[in-house]
Amino acid sequence: MNRVFIYDTTLRDGTQGEGISLSVEDKVKIAQRLDRLGVAYIEGGWPSSNPKDMEFFRRAQKLPWKNAKIAAFGSTCRPGSMACDDPNLKAIVESGAPVATIFGKTWDFHVTTALKTTLEENLRLIHDSVTFLKESGMEVIFDAEHFYDGYAANPEYAKEAILTAEKAGADWVCLCDTNGGTLPQEILAVTQEIVFLARVPIGLHVHNDGDLAVANSLMGVMAGARQIQGTINGYGERCGNANLCSIIPNVQVKMKMDCIPGESLAHLTDTAHYIAEIANQTLRNDMPYVGRSAFAHKGGMHVSALLKDAQTYEHVTPETVGNQRRILVSELSGMSNVIYKAKELGLDISHQNPQARQIIDNIKELENQGYQFEGAEASFELMLRRAFDQEPEPFVLDAIKLMIEKRSNAEFTSEATIKLRIGDQVVHTAAEGNGPVNAVDNALRKALGTAYPFLQSCHLSDYKVRVLDEKNATGSPVRVLIETRDAHDTWSTVGVSTNIIEASWEALRDSFLYGWLQQQKKGDTDPVG
Amino acid sequence: MNRVFIYDTTLRDGTQGEGISLSVEDKVKIAQRLDRLGVAYIEGGWPSSNPKDMEFFRRAQKLPWKNAKIAAFGSTCRPGSMACDDPNLKAIVESGAPVATIFGKTWDFHVTTALKTTLEENLRLIHDSVTFLKESGMEVIFDAEHFYDGYAANPEYAKEAILTAEKAGADWVCLCDTNGGTLPQEILAVTQEIVFLARVPIGLHVHNDGDLAVANSLMGVMAGARQIQGTINGYGERCGNANLCSIIPNVQVKMKMDCIPGESLAHLTDTAHYIAEIANQTLRNDMPYVGRSAFAHKGGMHVSALLKDAQTYEHVTPETVGNQRRILVSELSGMSNVIYKAKELGLDISHQNPQARQIIDNIKELENQGYQFEGAEASFELMLRRAFDQEPEPFVLDAIKLMIEKRSNAEFTSEATIKLRIGDQVVHTAAEGNGPVNAVDNALRKALGTAYPFLQSCHLSDYKVRVLDEKNATGSPVRVLIETRDAHDTWSTVGVSTNIIEASWEALRDSFLYGWLQQQKKGDTDPVG
């Protein structure tokens, strides 16, 4: 079989990650997106553990699923009790999901220490629980918890446990590296043995505590396993679960096996970002395949080679996974980066053009002052436009004032006033904030918001301050980086000054100007009169 | 040989990561910390590429190195030129570093497409460059760029290229997965072949584009490679380099080979955090081994099993790598730290004392707000003194006001006024600054300087600003850290607020109060009347 079944547990194991919490509505949205991506199984939750998960299963029954089967999660029944009386197993059946995934112990130490029962009783729990669920007409996946640790401690017992599940009729046995510490070479050897031993198809469920979860999943596939359990963006307890956003392209593109429909792969990046957004997590820029920096090139030599052939410094083309190439501009980079960037903007520039040399000198001078354009592409574009006399001017600033005050033990207060002109109209307004930069931000929005209603859909999503040349202490220059988002786009701007208000102002101004430029391209930026 | 030599390239390849930029001072600090951790090689930079890197090598020559050798990086000489005339190679020799690491092409496609020369000429470049550096008396590491891709395309040529480096006298050949897309199984097979073929010891330098860099490095070690190149926290271009913070414990604890001195492993976590702090990067909570969540347990079932035996849900004990479990124990250790510190200050406190519990609760609340006392022991001492009603009060603040203004294209101006009482005397004064915090700093010094002349010998030596919870953008809280020095001593203070002026004020105030306390101990702090 050349197919690897992708089993997503973002909605269950993913939510055990620190800081991740999903409403029922969130879960439904994520599940629908996963189905569109084309995973084979979506684990919706643990129906007996909370009403939220039960509600998800109720809603899931009424929705059309194109690619995925919904799975309900739980554990084998309790020592000394009958499977058919177990509220946890009954809730799985009542969930209406077509698939049941239950975990059971396979590590002898865990049976005696955590479960506090005998090795024989544990085998009975596995057998009876699987049998009960099969008799209820469900597809049953048996998650062999701590299998690799169990195998290392007592291989005979670990094998007996999974063969018990097989005998009871389980459709899949998934080998878990629950503590996430097993090495790839061990995963490969042990999985190979199990694939030969078992008649039931084998899957893997591994955690990332050794920074090896993706590799360990691939080792499983190499050994003959045909189901991989993991989460989008690797969310999960401690160091996370196996990251499906890396596993899927590795298996599909590199190992040339099917796991999601071919046309879906180009939606991997937007799926990762969408789910991060719903989970209220900032997606790491350096995420393989789907991160903003995954195809970002900084070294000048790399860029000059990329211009000759992208394959020189890219392992796959970014479009394969729906991502894009980015060329960063920094002190490490040369002329090639600037030319590449200018051409992207449709500006007429070449190695021979004296303007190119001037712009490079200008960048070097600005970088000497502490500007950093690699994280601030919008400011870089504005700087290029200024060099080509194409600076946008939707408003002219007359004055900004800020008053910050503290009286004896009272709180600090911050108030900003701003006066600017939009065409012939003079706007003069004021706002408070929970700090001075926030007050300036609020005042600027207030001043521009009526004329430029698009600002309402823009929000600042990141604000970074870096003190440069720290030895000058409070007199040091600071660099401010601001990230802005609207419904479609994200852009970053930079400001540098010894005055943090000025640096923030520059970045705020550029954020607005760039947003305005994008709107202008769409033809709807004339000030509302 | 049971030793794996760790080669750190945080200072060179790490700085190619997006958003990472290090001053010479930063580089020196990081290198000293790496040396303490016990890595075998520290790549300092590319001496010919910029004056900053050259300055690093000048400083490095004068410093004592306990464990590490400093390496200077560069490439083979240019096609058509002589190695002895190559400015890049000459800069490596002039750097004074004992080790030269040069990369050369081993992928035929890259030779003809990027380097635009013949396959024969490329072999000459490798041979002559290595020979030149060896004749200059340096240890030479040859980084075989794109080796795995080169081997896949034209194995004979790739092998010929590295054997050329070996013949020319290279001390090491490092096989690079430059584009970071090779699978572990391929790394294992190819590296095994090369280890059998070559007489020179083999190393690996891999990138993380497939989310496999840690596993690929371990595969290299499995195959017999004995040098691993990587970066702290996996910093590096695109998706980063191989993460040494995961590789070191995997190799040392799991594969039971030596790579850093045994006693150093317990400093891994603080090293990772320290370097993240200097690079102004937020360390991911879910980082294996060193992240704040790496040993944090959320699932109730996990916690209850952990209480029975920690091994149930932990692949290694957190203390092995200097990290901690985030239930139970952290609280106890927090208590011990507080008691230790209080006793040092002569404050009466014990485990039985209800005040200890209250102080711990207070610290937790402050840490929730974003305070961090690790880097601010002076503020910690003042906080303890406040809890014991021993707060020093050399002055009472009545008011601070700040006015910041910009008119059309003029510069921003900043003016602070301050009113305070020293005993019966009222001081009301004002000062300007090159930014608002600098203006407050100047005004405070002016207000206190006459009464407390010791202030003249204190100067601020560091000022750091960190935006916390960046998603709230300009409304986010910020943490300010200030370092102050006088002739004898250095102390650090902290402030947190959504208002950067307030946060800075807190840190400035504590800086003065702590300085005053030290003077008082010497008996010369009465206000000069």
- Helix A335-344 × helix A354-369 angle, to 10°: 110
Q: Which residues contact B166 (CB under 8 A, 6 or more apart)?
A: B173, B198, B199, B200
Show the DSSP H helices in A388-526 as ranges.
436-449, 500-522
CA dist A117 → A80, A120, A130, A150 (Å): 9, 8, 19, 16
Provide DSSP, A218-260.
HHHHHTT--EEEEBGGG--STT-B-BHHHHHHIIIIIS--BSS
Contacts of B433 in chain A (CB under 8 A): 474-475
pLDDT at B333: 40
Residue at token pair 């405070």? B444
State the total domains in chain B.
3
- pLDDT band at B331, cuts 50/70/90? very low
pLDDT at B370: 75
Contacts of A314 in chain B (CB under 8 A): 179
Q: With an 8 Å Cβ cutoff, is B227 touching chain A?
A: no
> How far is Cα B378 from Cα A211, in angstroms, rounded to an integer?
37
Instruction: Give the tens place of pLDDT for each residue, B67-114.
Output: 999 999 999 999 999 999 999 999 999 999 999 999 999 999 999 988
> How far is Cα A239 from Cα B288, in angstroms, rounded to an integer?
6
Q: With an 8 Å Cβ cutoff, is A189 touching chain B?
A: no
* Host H or E run for residue A105: strand A99-105
Q: Which of B398, B460, B474 sits opposite A438 (nearest CB)?
A: B474
pLDDT at B324: 83
Taking a C-beta distance cutoff of 8 angstroms, is the pair A527, A501 a contact? no
- Find the range with the poorest average confidence among A125-134, A495-504, B372-381, B456-465: B372-381
Provide the domain limits for residue A341: 296-367
> How far is Cα A280 from Cα B119, in angstroms, rounded to an integer?
51
Mutation site, A107, A211, A485, interface B, largest B CB count within 10 A: A211
> How far is Cα A257 from Cα A220, in angstroms, rounded to an integer?
13
Q: Do B16 and A298 touch (CB under 8 A)?
A: yes
Q: With an 8 Å Cβ cutoff, is A179 touching chain B?
A: yes
Asked whether residue A475 falls in the same domain as residue A390, the answer is: yes
* Host H or E run for residue A302: helix A300-308
Its ipTM equals 0.74
Asked whether residue A346 falls in the same domain as residue A388, the answer is: no
Closest CA to B104 of B72, B137, B77: B77
Residue B332 clears pLDDT 50, i.e. is over it = no
Asked whether residue B158 falls in the same domain as residue B204, the answer is: yes
Residue A471 clears pLDDT 70, i.e. is over it = no
Mean pLDDT within A465-486: 78
Q: With an 8 Å Cβ cutoff, is B428 touching chain A?
A: no
Of B241, B260, B279, which one is at a domain's C-terminal end? B260
Length, in residues, of chain A: 529
State the nearest Cα–Cα gap between A96 and chain B, in angstroms. 25
Asked whether residue A172 falls in the same domain as residue A304, the answer is: no
> How far is Cα A210 from Cα B126, in angstroms, rounded to an integer?
37
> How far is Cα A483 from Cα A470, in angstroms, rounded to an integer?
24
Taking a C-beta distance cutoff of 8 angstroms, is the pair B484, B493 a contact? yes
Q: Which of A210, A286, A298 sits opposite B240 (nearest CB)?
A: A286
Asked whether residue A149 falls in the same domain as residue A163, the answer is: yes
Mutation site, B315, B316, B405, interface A, largest A CB count within 10 A: B315
Q: Is residue A176 part of a domain?
A: yes
Q: With an 8 Å Cβ cutoff, is B277 touching chain A?
A: no
pLDDT at B306: 67
> How far is Cα A399 from Cα A393, in angstroms, rounded to an integer?
16
Q: Do A238 and B297 touch (CB under 8 A)?
A: yes
Q: Is residue B132 part of a domain?
A: yes
Closest CA to B253 of B289, B225, B228: B289
Contacts of A304 in chain B (CB under 8 A): 114
pLDDT at B409: 81
- Read off the amino acid at residue A273: H
Residue at token pair 């009542």? A94
Mean residue pLDDT across chain B: 89
Q: Is residue A287 part of a domain?
A: no
Residue A103 clears pLDDT 80, i.e. is over it = yes
> How far is Cα B241 from Cα B10, in angstroms, rounded to an integer?
9
CA dist B398 → B34, B418, B420, B503 (Å): 47, 8, 5, 18
Asked whether residue A327 falls in the same domain as residue A428, the answer is: no
Residue B232 clears pLDDT 90, i.e. is over it = yes
Asked whether residue B81 falls in the same domain as residue B159, the answer is: yes
What is residue B434's three-state secondary structure?
Answer: coil
Q: What six digits make up the tokens of B211? A: 């989310």
Asked whether residue B383 falls in the same domain as residue B401, the answer is: no
What chain B residue is nearest to A475 in terms of C-alpha separation? B438
pLDDT at B181: 96
- pLDDT band at B144, cuts 50/70/90? very high
If you count residue pairs, one on A and one on B, with CB atoms under 8 Å apart, how many are there? Answer: 374
Mean pLDDT within A220-225: 98
Look up residue B68 and give its DSSP letter. Answer: P
Contacts of B183 in chain A (CB under 8 A): 218, 250, 254-255
> How far is Cα B381 from Cα B511, in angstroms, rounded to an integer?
11
Q: Do B183 and A218 touch (CB under 8 A)?
A: yes
| Stronger pLDDT, B118 or A370, i.e. the higher one | B118
Contacts of A476 in chain B (CB under 8 A): 463
Q: Which of B25, B295, B403 sits opposite A403 (nearest CB)?
A: B403
Q: Do B113 and A243 touch (CB under 8 A)?
A: no
State the nearest Cα–Cα gap between B181 and chain A, in angstroms. 5
Asked whether residue A407 falls in the same domain as residue A463, the answer is: no
pLDDT at B465: 79
Instruction: Give the tens place of pLDDT for each residue, A338-388.
Output: 777 777 777 777 666 777 777 777 777 787 777 877 668 888 888 888 887
Closest CA to A412 of A384, A434, A379: A434
Q: With an 8 Å Cβ cutoff, is B418 touching chain A?
A: no
Of B232, B260, B288, which one is at a domain's C-terminal end? B260
> How far is Cα B527 from Cα B529, in angstroms, rounded to an integer?
6
> How far is Cα B513 from Cα B524, in angstroms, rounded to an integer?
14
Q: Which of A181, A291, A331 sits opposite B50 (nearest CB)?
A: A331
Q: With an 8 Å Cβ cutoff, is A424 touching chain B?
A: no
- pLDDT band at A390, cuts 50/70/90? confident
Mean pLDDT within A89-93: 96
- Read off the amino acid at residue B153: A
Q: With an 8 Å Cβ cutoff, is A218 touching chain B?
A: yes
- pLDDT band at A470, cuts 50/70/90? low
Of B212, B231, B260, which one is at a domain's C-terminal end? B260
Q: Is residue A286 part of a domain?
A: no
What is residue A323's three-state secondary structure?
Answer: coil
| Stronger pLDDT, A50 or B336, i.e. the higher one | A50
Mutation site, B48, B231, B404, B409, interface A, largest A CB count within 10 A: B404
Q: Do A254 and B181 touch (CB under 8 A)?
A: yes
pLDDT at A300: 64
Q: With an 8 Å Cβ cutoff, is A15 touching chain B?
A: no
Contacts of A459 in chain B (CB under 8 A): 473
Q: Is residue A45 part of a domain?
A: yes
Q: Is residue A412 part of a domain?
A: yes
Residue B121 is part of a domain; what is its CATH number?
A: 3.20.20.70
- pLDDT band at A334, cuts 50/70/90? low
Q: What is the pTM of this model?
A: 0.73
Q: With an 8 Å Cβ cutoff, is B254 touching chain A?
A: yes
Asked whether residue B132 falls in the same domain as residue B114, the answer is: yes
Query: What dihedral do alpha carbons A339, A343, A349, A350 form, nearest 10°?
Result: 50
Contacts of A328 in chain B (CB under 8 A): 18
Q: Is residue A288 part of a domain?
A: no
Asked whether residue A222 falls in the same domain as residue A84, the answer is: yes
pLDDT at A150: 97
Q: With an 8 Å Cβ cutoff, is B219 touching chain A?
A: yes
> How far is Cα B99 from Cα B97, in angstroms, rounded to an integer?
6
pLDDT at B301: 61
| Stronger pLDDT, A22 or B517, i.e. the higher one | B517
Look up residue B471 and give its DSSP letter. Answer: G
* Host H or E run for residue A140: strand A139-145
- pLDDT band at B330, cuts 50/70/90? very low
Closest CA to B458 of B502, B508, B412: B508
> HSE (CB half, 13 Å, CA atoms) of B203?
28
- Find the range with the poorest average confidence among A402-411, B300-309, B502-511: B300-309
Q: With an 8 Å Cβ cutoff, is A320 touching chain B?
A: no
Residue B130: φ, ψ to 5°: -65, -45
Mean pLDDT within B239-268: 96
Taking a C-beta distance cutoff of 8 angstroms, is the pair A173, A200 a contact? yes
What is residue B304's three-state secondary structure?
Answer: helix
Mutation site, A315, A329, A418, interface B, largest B CB count within 10 A: A315
Q: Is residue A289 part of a domain?
A: no
Q: Do B239 and A286 touch (CB under 8 A)?
A: yes
Asked whether residue B400 falls in the same domain as residue B486, the answer is: yes
